[in-house]
Chains A and B, each alone.
Chain A
């Protein structure tokens, strides 16, 4: 909560609670739900990215004051199995659709620089347009030594800016 207060004082409008892993367990989810209400009470818009949640779990967060759920598609359906083996693209779609069904605003985008093609990026943009998500973040891979993507060449910054533009036109159009 201290960090949320600092963020508010720094002019931040949204405050997002993030956990790593496939999904957040029930005990942690209840704790986060209670934090969500307090963050809302500070006048911030609470967001959360907690993995593959079911509709009842998302409803609990919404009832606690959550405004937006963040869940990236990451890439195209075709490329997804090449970068993730713990869950499927279909699992991700299910969570995004559940979040929309319970009335949450949805933030969903992906990551460039994994070795995907433009076809994959455009397919992801089409999927996001179809899902009618409210916000589309685009991340750029920073290869970390020792990880499976550690030897991937990073996208030069200006290349990242250039690659983002056609995507933004397509996703917004």
Chain B
């Protein structure tokens, strides 16, 4: 069944939702067939090549720069505005 579905995708056909559910249910030794089919499909449509995509977070970087500046200046006034790691984690979770 996996080989048949892979052959269909390789020949340009599309899978139905029912067929996708079957693939999601594959377990145990059947996983080798699934991984192998996925590899063949990748090679045909995307070739055996990996593109690297590097990401920079523009806003966070600016915020960090401000935070570092505060951490440098304010301790001299007797206060430390730098959040402890758990606080920082909670703040990040709230979003910008």
- Chain A residues with CB under 8 Å of chain B are 3-4, 7, 10-21, 28, 32, 47, 118, 121-123, 125-126, 129, 144-147, 161-163, 165-166, 168-170, 172-173
Please tell me if the beta carbons of B31 and A162 are within 8 angstroms of each other in the complex: yes
Please tell me if the beta carbons of A146 and B89 are within 8 angstroms of each other in the complex: yes
> B17 at interface (Cβ–Cβ under 8 A)?
yes
Interface of B (DSSP majority class): helix
Question: Which residues of chain B come closer than 8 Å to A21, judged between CB atoms?
Answer: 59, 95-96
- Chain B residues with CB under 8 Å of chain A are 5-6, 8-9, 13-15, 17, 19-21, 23-24, 26, 31, 34-35, 37-38, 41-42, 45, 51-60, 86, 89-90, 92-93, 95-96
The 7 closest A-B CB pairs, nearest first, are A166-B23, A7-B54, A14-B53, A147-B93, A173-B9, A170-B20, A173-B15
26 A-B residue pairings within 8 Å (CB atoms): A3-B54, A7-B52, A7-B54, A12-B53, A13-B51, A16-B54, A20-B60, A28-B59, A129-B14, A145-B86, A145-B89, A162-B31, A163-B24, A165-B23, A165-B31, A166-B20, A166-B26, A168-B42, A169-B5, A169-B20, A170-B15, A170-B23, A172-B9, A172-B41, A172-B45, A173-B8
